[in-house]
Amino acid sequence: MAVYTDVLCPFCGCICDDIVVEVGEDGKITKVRGACAIGRSKIMGHDRMESPAIREDGELRDCSYDEAIKRAAEILADARRPLLYGWSSTVCETDRVGVELAVEIGAIIDNTASVCHGPSILAIQDVGLPSCTLGQIRNRADIVIYWGSNPVFAHPNHMKRYSYLSKGRFTPGGKKDRKMVVVDVRETKSAKLADLFVKVRPGGDFLVFSALRAILQGHEDVVPDEVAGVEKKDLLSLAEMIKNANFIITFFGMGVTHSGARHNNIVNAIEFTRAAHLHTKATIMPMRGHYNVNGFNQVCTWLLGYPFSIDLSQGYPWYNPGETGAVDVLVHGECDAALIISSDPASHFPADAVRHLARIPVIQIDPYPNPTTEFADVVIPSAICGVEAEGSVYRMDSVPLRVRKIVDSKFMADEEIIRRILEEVRAIKEKEGE
């Protein structure tokens, strides 16, 4: 039996890096310690796609990697407006080759951020992001706000490792030295743990941010007695808490990015942070979901200048989310082929987008089958990054880490699959004399 320590978890944006993994004589993982339930399940592995396959007469027929990769390359080389989508649950090495593929074929390349924290990125481009790494929270934060996010379920180790329950230099007492605030539309399990729960009427976050901004900037007189279901006196006492704090952090989630005013919510959340900074150290951070959703945004930004939703059809990167996002080009019926890697648009995209996706040739690369597999024309199973393949990943706070390969696998790594597709595409184009 082999024991691996300080293993990194390829599940959420927390990327816990103190996991212990035991591997039996047969090369199978037998035990995972220190991970949350979801992380453990991810590392232990479950129901894999067993073989590459190509759809013929409506049925998937098993084939070799060579055949599937060749077919995938033919589809992409043939397409006039291909979409390359997903990229968040794989390593940066894959994303880099993906960008090269997109440049080669003039594709639209986009990742899951466009249906997740995409609005947060748009807000950052409006006003910036006063933030920090998670260790600053661990060592300094005396007020931790979770706004529209439910870490108990979505990021189970977040509080323990990085925030409310962790202990640090200026917070040696852990939660005794901190106050936790949860702002949400319902009393979530996270809210039950909080020192203060602020219940906001659905869609009312924008107003509450505005009210807090006004108070923090000395204009409490303009705030009405009640704002989106929150009483003014509660807002005043929250503002007072903030003013007297040494360091505050607001972690925000999908509850804010995808309700009502969308990216304007986040602009206001950041403006609230700036207002709080007039009194104390104030920071804010999106609770990124997939372990490497941030990594794709980083890679895309350094290679192409923009973080997601990039159209390369003109030979240069064109960035205009709302026009160049995956959902946009699908809903508009623009794209005529799609490569989907490590994600499941069939489950998460609007119905109109999924309908179009089902009509066009789809290549899927993933360790696991999911609803997208139901209509994929080429499926290519891959190794699980962080368990069967190594590479760079970026934590929610942009700390870069290297996930490891723990066990051997019969499956090909994402990076190699994409690289081989790229080589095949180049070979086809060369033959065509382009």
Partner 1 sequence: MAELLIKNGVVFDPINGVKGEKMDICIRDGKIVESLHDEHSAKVIDASGCVVMPGGVDAHAHIAGGKVNAGRLLRPEDGRRGLEPKRGVCKPCTGYSVPNTWATGYRYAKMGYTFVMEPAMPPLTARHTHEELVDTPIIDKAALPLIDNNWMTLQYVRDENYEMLSAYVAWMIRATRGYGIKIVNPGGTEAWGFAKNCGLDDPVPHWDVTPADIIRALAHANERYEMPHSIHVHGNMLGHPGNYETTLRTFDVVKGISASMQRQTMHTTHIQFFCYGGTSWKDFESKADEIAKYVNENEHITIDLGSIILGDTTTMTADGPMEYTLYRLTGRKWTNHDVELETGAGIVPFLYSSRNPVHSVQWTIGLELALLLKNPWKVVLSTDHPNAGPFIGYPILISMLMSKKRRDEVMKEVHPAVFDRSSLASIDRELDFHEIAIITRASAAKILGLHNHGKGHLGVGADADVAIYGISHEESDAGAVQRAFLNAKYTIKRGEIVVKDGEIVATPEGRTFYVEPECEESLMNEVMKDIERMFKEYYTVSLSNYPVQDVYTPHPYVIRAPMSG
Query: Please, which residue, 125 or 370, has the CB nearer to partner 1?
Result: 125
Q: What angle do CA 390, 309, 148 make, to 5 degrees?
A: 80
Task: Looking at residues 267 to 296 of the shown chain, list those that interact with partner 1 (rule: CB under 8 A).
Answer: 274, 277, 280-281, 283
Distance (Å, whole) CA 163 – CA 402: 23
The distance of closest approach from Cβ of residue 374 to partner 1 in the complex, given in angstroms and rounded to an integer, is 35
The distance of closest approach from Cβ of residue 362 to partner 1 in the complex, given in angstroms and rounded to an integer, is 26
Q: Look at the alpha carbons of 150, 152, 154, 155 in this order and tell me if their dihedral is positive or negative.
A: positive
The distance of closest approach from Cβ of residue 302 to partner 1 in the complex, given in angstroms and rounded to an integer, is 5
Query: Please, which residue, 198 or 403, has the CB nearer to partner 1?
Result: 403
Distance (Å, whole) CA 431 – CA 7: 45
Query: Please, which residue, 51 or 313, has the CB nearer to partner 1?
Result: 313
Q: Please identify which residue in the block is written with the tokens 């192409």.
A: 304
Q: What mask of x and - would describe binding to partner 1 in positions 342 to 381, judged by CB under 8 A?
A: ----------------------------------------
Total of chain residues touching partner 1, rule CB under 8 A: 59
Task: Looking at residues 159 to 218 of the shown chain, list those that interact with partner 1 (rule: CB under 8 A).
Answer: 161-162, 168-170
Q: Decide: is 111 part of the binding site for partner 1 (CB under 8 A).
A: no
Task: Looking at residues 300 to 329 of the shown chain, list those that interact with partner 1 (rule: CB under 8 A).
Answer: 301-307, 312, 314-317, 319
Find the binder of partner 1 among 79, 97, 121, 354 (CB under 8 A). 121
Query: Please, which residue, 95 or 366, has the CB nearer to partner 1?
Result: 95
Distance (Å, whole) CA 81 – CA 106: 8
Question: Residues 395, 294: contact at Cβ < 8 Å?
Answer: yes
Query: Please, which residue, 95 or 184, has the CB nearer to partner 1?
Result: 95
The order of strands in the sheet holding 19-23 is: 2-7, 19-23, 29-33
Find the binder of partner 1 among 192, 219, 332, 402 (CB under 8 A). 402
Distance (Å, whole) CA 308 – CA 323: 12
Q: Decide: is 389 part of the binding site for partner 1 (CB under 8 A).
A: no
The distance of closest approach from Cβ of residue 245 to partner 1 in the complex, given in angstroms and rounded to an integer, is 10
Question: Residues 182, 194: contact at Cβ < 8 Å?
Answer: yes
Query: Please, which residue, 130 or 229, has the CB nearer to partner 1?
Result: 130
Distance (Å, whole) CA 112 – CA 100: 19
Find the binder of partner 1 among 2, 6, 66, 355 (CB under 8 A). 6
Give DSSP secondary structure letters for 258-317.
Answer: TSTTTHHHHHHHHHHHHHHTTTSEEEEEE---BTTHHHHHHHHHHHHSSSS-EE-TTSS-
**Binding window for partner 1 (CB under 8 A); candidates: 80-88, 346-354, 364-372, 397-405:** 397-405
- Residue 419 main-chain phi, psi, to 5 deg: -65, -40
How many CB atoms within 10 Å of residue 356? 20
Those residues with Cβ within 8 angstroms of residue 302's Cβ, 6 or more apart along the chain or in another chain: none
Those residues with Cβ within 8 angstroms of residue 221's Cβ, 6 or more apart along the chain or in another chain: none
Element (H, E) at 86: strand 82-86
The distance of closest approach from Cβ of residue 403 to partner 1 in the complex, given in angstroms and rounded to an integer, is 9
**Binding window for partner 1 (CB under 8 A); candidates: 35-43, 340-348, 363-371, 395-403:** 395-403
The distance of closest approach from Cβ of residue 280 to partner 1 in the complex, given in angstroms and rounded to an integer, is 7
Question: Residues 272, 250: contact at Cβ < 8 Å?
Answer: yes
Find the binder of partner 1 among 56, 62, 126, 231 (CB under 8 A). 126
Distance (Å, whole) CA 391 – CA 291: 12
Structure tokens at 233: 């006196």
Strand partners, 366: 381
Question: Residues 236, 255: contact at Cβ < 8 Å?
Answer: no
The distance of closest approach from Cβ of residue 183 to partner 1 in the complex, given in angstroms and rounded to an integer, is 22
Query: Please, which residue, 185 or 401, has the CB nearer to partner 1?
Result: 401
The distance of closest approach from Cβ of residue 312 to partner 1 in the complex, given in angstroms and rounded to an integer, is 7
The distance of closest approach from Cβ of residue 323 to partner 1 in the complex, given in angstroms and rounded to an integer, is 13
Residues at the contact surface with partner 1, assessed by CB under 8 A: 5-6, 8, 17-18, 92, 96, 103, 121, 124-136, 138-140, 161-162, 168-170, 246-247, 274, 277, 280-281, 283, 297-298, 301-307, 312, 314-317, 319, 392, 394, 398-402
